[in-house]
Every structure is written in structure tokens, then in C-alpha cells.
Amino acid sequence: MNEMELKYGCNPNQKPARIFMKENQELPIQVLSGRPGYINLLDAFNGWQLVRELKKATGLPAAASFKHVSPAGAAVGLPLDETLAKIYWVDDMGELSPLASAYARARGADRMSSFGDFISLSDVCDVDTAKLIKREVSDGVIAPGYEPEALEILKAKKNGNYCVIQIDESYEPEPVERKQVFGVVFEQGRNDLDINKELLSNVVTENKEIPELAKIDLIISLITLKYTQSNSVCYAKGGQAIGIGAGQQSRVHCTRLAGQKADNWYLRQAPQVLSLQFVDGIKRADRDNAIDVYIGDEYMDVLADGAWEKIFKVKPPVFAKEEKRAWLDGMTEVALGSDAFFPFGDNIERAYKSGVKYIAQPGGSVRDDNVIETCNKYGMAMAFTGIRLFHH
């Protein structure tokens, strides 16, 4: 098959819609269940490239959670500790397979943004991963294969309408890619840049030490950025992205947005949040929303109107700003990648507030000296990669 008709394009009014290959080529995918849409397939193909590269770079199974052609989360399959298992709502599932752990991390980094995601998996989907996917609200999944039992679990989701796509893992696209905008054809060489630890060898700060685990996190952040709508910045820690700022016109806004998401990820691990008692039967998405409100600045408004009674068994105490700041001061050893150079030191100042210790960015700004000086002030190690990772 070299053509697939789609229900519509990005929006219902955009018809007809299809994907297709040249006459002598076959599509590299099989749809095993459901009917993917235009944006689903954009997410699937970008996500597949991301996880394939993460697997190649780290040797570990990888997963990504995509929304609107940018990742909400990306991770490799490292084991989850008790706290992470709890904040990702998988503490009732026992020990997870490495692939399931990767998706739990990818989904759990920013659960609000991942709601209704499209999932990408680097390895054959196993039963553990399928059971995890079954309980989450998502549109579909792409993987190089599925265990028989896992496939049956996924095909039963959404009354049989859940999108399950199998991709030919040996498929390689042509070296030149094209797209049409406003009737004009754009052509460029495909971004096949290999992201590896050699890109981190030019450390320009006084602190030259980047431990191996931090290098893995920097590689994860850079590969994630390669498939994130620009401008973009990615915070990573412990084998996963913990905050992604995508599609912002100003780089400091990327840094702030991603930093806030990283802060929320860490605040969810605070004792005040872990001890919240939810009413019986509350949906997972409602719990996520409630936690986001609880750790936000608007929680006093929620307390005032009594809405807490619909969510919590016991009225939670206010998580004071000073308490939150004290907890966030414990977040350390965070890695930060940027898809283009930092033009001002204000990005570094913001990154420091979210525990950033290691940075990878292209360099090349006329204010590089100011950025390096700011890093030195906080004892950070920063590598200039010399490569830009814009994605549009």
C-alpha cells in the first residue's frame, strides 16, 4: 500500500486528506487498529524518530508522549523509585518492564499536557506497556511491533477505535525532504545529525566536569529538542525530560515555561502533595488537575469557594510559597538543552532556580561571555555543541 486516505487534514474543513509515497514505494506503516488522523500521523512519525534516536544513543528502550507535533515528555527505560511510581500513578502495577517504565516517565513528566497524547515506543510493545496505555487517555501508539496479548489489549481500547500503528523499523526516508506551504514547495536535506556524547566535549565554563549520568540527560534533552517545535528548551533529569518549553518566540520564555514544568514535576514529589487524600472514584485526569491547582498560586481561590470538597477527603493545608521554594531548593543536578544559543544570561539565572547544573547549547551569541560568566557564578558546566536544532 502506498496511499492512505485520511478523514480530514489538520481541521475538519481541510479535505481531501491523505498520506502517500511514490508509485514504486510502500508506506512504512501498517494500521492494526483504528483510523489515524493527519495530526496523529505527524505526532507518530516525529515521535518514532525521537525514540529510535534515544534508543541508539543510550542503548535503553525509549518512549515519547506527543501532543500537537511536540513532545510533552520523553524518557528511557530506567527503573522507577517509589516516589516516581506514585506521582505517575503506577504504584499499583508492581515492577514495570523497562519499556513500560520509559512510557510511565514520558507520560508522567507533564501529565496535563500528555492528556490525549500519541505514544511512540522504540521497542516491541509488551503487555506491561499495553496495560499502562490502556488506563490512560490517549489517541494512539506507534511501535515496531506488538506482543500478541499486548495487541489485543490495545485493540479493545476505545471500543476498537484506538489507533495502533506498526512501523517498519528498517525504513529510512530519502535524504532530501519536501513540503508545500501556500502552494510553494520547500526542499531541504533531512536532519540526520547524529547526537552523541562527542557533542559535549567543548566545555567552555570553569567547571569542566559533566558526569556520565548528566551526559545521558543532556543527550536526552538534545534529541528531544530535535523533534520539538522551535524555539525550544528542555530540562532533563534521571533519564527523562522533566520540562519542555516549545514554540516560543523568545528563548527566555522557553526557559521559563520549561522551568515551570520542571518545578511542577518536582513539587509533585513534595510530602504535602504525596499526602493528599482524594475522594473515592475520582478520575486520574481530575487528580492531575487538582494537583496542578494545589501547587499553583491560585489554590487560595479554590479553598475560598469550597470546591475542595468535591476532590479531597480532607481539606489540604495551603502549600505556602516559602515551603514550595524550600522544597525546590532540593532539586539539583538538572541538565538543560537549548536548540539555539542563549542570547542573554537571564536564561541561566532562570535555569538556576530549577536546579540546573549542566547545560548544552550551540554557542555563537555575541554575548557568549556574559552567558559563560553567569554559569561560572553558579558553578555550572556548559558545553558548546556548535549545532543548532531548529524544528518546524
Question: pLDDT tens digits, residue range 309-346?
Answer: 888 888 888 899 999 999 999 999 999 999 999 998 99
pLDDT tens-digit profile of 306-316? 677 888 888 88
Of 167 and 302, more confident: 167
Q: Are 155 and 162 in contact (CB under 8 A)?
A: yes
pLDDT tens-digit profile of 194-250? 999 999 999 999 999 999 999 999 999 999 999 999 999 999 999 999 999 999 999
Is pLDDT at 34 greater than 80 in this prediction? yes
What is the per-residue pLDDT for 318? 87
Q: What backbone torsions phi and psi does residue 122 show, to the nearest 5 degrees?
A: -80, -25
What is the per-residue pLDDT for 302? 64
What is the per-residue pLDDT for 174? 93
Residue 69 zone, left/alpha/beta (φ > 0; ψ -120 to 50; rest): left
Is pLDDT at 365 greater than 70 in this prediction? yes
Of 299 and 262, more confident: 262
Is pLDDT at 386 greater than 70 in this prediction? yes
User: Percent of the chain at pLDDT above 90?
Assistant: 88
Is pLDDT at 106 greater than 90 in this prediction? yes
What amino acid is encoded at 110 in this protein?
D
pLDDT tens-digit profile of 268-304? 999 999 999 999 988 888 899 889 989 987 776 666 6
253 carries an active-site annotation: no
User: Percent of the chain at pLDDT above 70?
Assistant: 98
Alpha helices for the chain (secondary structure H) = 38-58, 82-87, 98-108, 111-114, 127-134, 148-155, 212-226, 251-267, 271-274, 284-294, 299-304, 321-328, 346-353, 368-377
Give the count of alpha carbons within 13 A of 167, CB side only: 24
Catalytic residue among 40, 46, 215, 231: 231
Catalytic residue among 68, 86, 353, 391: 68
What pTM, to 2 d.p., does this model score?
A: 0.95
Q: Are 319 and 297 in contact (CB under 8 A)?
A: no
392 carries an active-site annotation: yes
Cα–Cα distance for residue pair 369/364, rounded to 1 Å: 10
67 carries an active-site annotation: yes
Q: Mean pLDDT score of the chain, rounded to an integer?
A: 94
68 carries an active-site annotation: yes
Q: Which domains does the chain show, CATH number per domain?
A: 3-167 (3.40.140.20), 195-267+328-384 (3.40.140.20), 275-318 (no CATH)
**Residue range 10-36: mean pLDDT, rounded:** 93
**DSSP strand pairing (334-338 vs 356-361):** parallel
Is pLDDT at 10 greater than 90 in this prediction? yes
